[in-house]
Amino acid sequence: MERYLFTDGTNVIREVGSGQELQTLIQSAGEPSKVRIWVFSTSEWITVADLNKHPLKFVAPPKPTVPAPDTRQTAKPVRRAVIPGFLKKASFGMVSVAAIFLVYNFTRVTWRKASALSIIAERPFNSPVVNVDSIIETIELLRGQKLDKITRTNLRIRNKWPDLVQLQLTADRDTSREGLRYHNLEFSIDNSTGYNIDNAVVKLNVWKDNEATTDTIHFDNITYAAPAKRRIELAHRGDSISVSFISIRAKAFNFCYSSEKKSNYGNYNDRWYCR
């Protein structure tokens, strides 16, 4: 008896007991090119084309028999869970937002308010404390005459100016993991000489890792009636800040100070005299 196995390319394999039945299945197949036939006499799978090269010898069909049911389980394709497109987009968006939020939190600088700052400029190194009475006596001895009252007063002011012209800086201060931040800086010059000062230049040093960046602030017509003030809104970041005078000029008492000079005319008895 002829025996074959037949499959049309699906997972179902049928056992065929005659060549006629086999031809019937071949003709009913949707895609003959996918048909494979197992010939028991040859023990191999062949195509329809291979089968046609060796025509089958049909024998008289036996009495119809009911083929034994195929007890093998047909593999069923597993259906994957499908996530709707809008859920995919929403999930991706939420992940992106979360990532941005985490990066922002780790990189954001959080400033906390610290105590306010108030500093007074230190006395310049090139303007040491002197004995003005001794200077007056020396000048009078060299000239052989007494100095008049105005000359004495002006000489005292020029040599004691760090005690009479006070520079002060106030600022709000914040702190964070990056250091300190200074803002709302206000500079004031309190002139107690009794004369108007024509102009002054102030230096602001912002120190960071032992290096300084410098800004300059200019004052004009500084009276003795009230402190002259200048405000800077720009914030500065650094470890510390300091202020000092770069120059001061007052024609009223013949005064010219410069932080870059030891004295104007080499006259150490009256360091900052100028016309």
Residue 58 confidence (pLDDT)? 43
Instruction: Supply the pLDDT for residue 264.
Output: 58
Calculate mean pLDDT across residues 187-216. 94
Residue 102 within any structural domain of the chain? no
Q: Is residue 11 part of a domain?
A: yes
Same domain, 153 and 240: yes
Same domain, 153 and 34: no
Note whether 122 and 33 are same-domain residues.
no
231 and 124 share one domain: yes
Domain boundary among 12, 37, 53: 53
Residue 23 sits in the same domain as residue 134: no
Burial class of residue 182, CB neighbours in 10 A (0-12, 13-18, 19+) = buried
* Residue 174 sits in the same domain as residue 252: yes
User: What's the domain count of the chain?
Assistant: 2
Which residues have a Cβ under 8 Å from the Cβ of 171 and sit 6 or more positions away? 116, 117, 182, 183, 184, 185, 186, 241
| Between 10 and 86, residue with greater pLDDT | 10
Task: Specify if 17 maps to a domain.
Answer: yes
Distance CA 147, CA 153 (A): 10
The predicted pLDDT at position 155 comes to: 93
Residue 109: per-residue pLDDT: 75
In which band, very low, low, confident or very high, does the pLDDT at 170 lie, cut at 50, 70 and 90? very high
229 and 145, same structural domain?
yes
- Average the pLDDT over 183-188 and give the result: 95
- How far from 60 is each of 29, 78, 273, CA to CA, in Å? 24, 44, 142
Q: Which structural domain, as residue segments, surrounds residue 25? A: 4-53
**Any domain includes 133:** yes
136 and 229: one domain? Answer: yes
pLDDT tier at 70, thresholds 50, 70, 90:
low
pLDDT band at 163; cut points 50, 70, 90:
very high
Q: Between 47 and 90, where is the model more confident?
A: 47
45 and 151, same domain (yes or no): no
269, pLDDT greater than 50: yes
In this predicted structure, the answer to whether residue 101 has a pLDDT above a threshold of 90 is no
Return the pLDDT at 42: 72
Query: Does residue 206 sit within a domain?
Result: yes
Residue 24 lies in a domain: yes
The reported pLDDT for the residue numbered 65 is 58
pLDDT above 90 (res 120):
yes
State the Cα–Cα distance between residues 135 and 56, nearest whole angstrom: 140
pTM over 0.75: no
Any idea what the CATH number is for the domain that residue 143 is in?
Answer: 2.60.40
Tell me the pLDDT of the chain averaged across its residues. 82
Same domain, 128 and 234: yes
The more confident residue out of 102 and 6 is 6
Give the model's pLDDT for residue 81. Answer: 57
Q: Is residue 103 part of a domain?
A: no
Q: What value, to the nearest 5°, has the Cα angle with vertex 124 and ends 205 and 245?
A: 50
Q: What is the pLDDT of residue 266?
A: 53
Tell me the percentage of the chain whose pLDDT exceeds 90: 40
Asked if residue 247 and residue 166 are part of one domain, the reply reads yes
Whether 180 is in a domain gets the answer: yes
Give mean pLDDT, residues 73-89.
Answer: 62
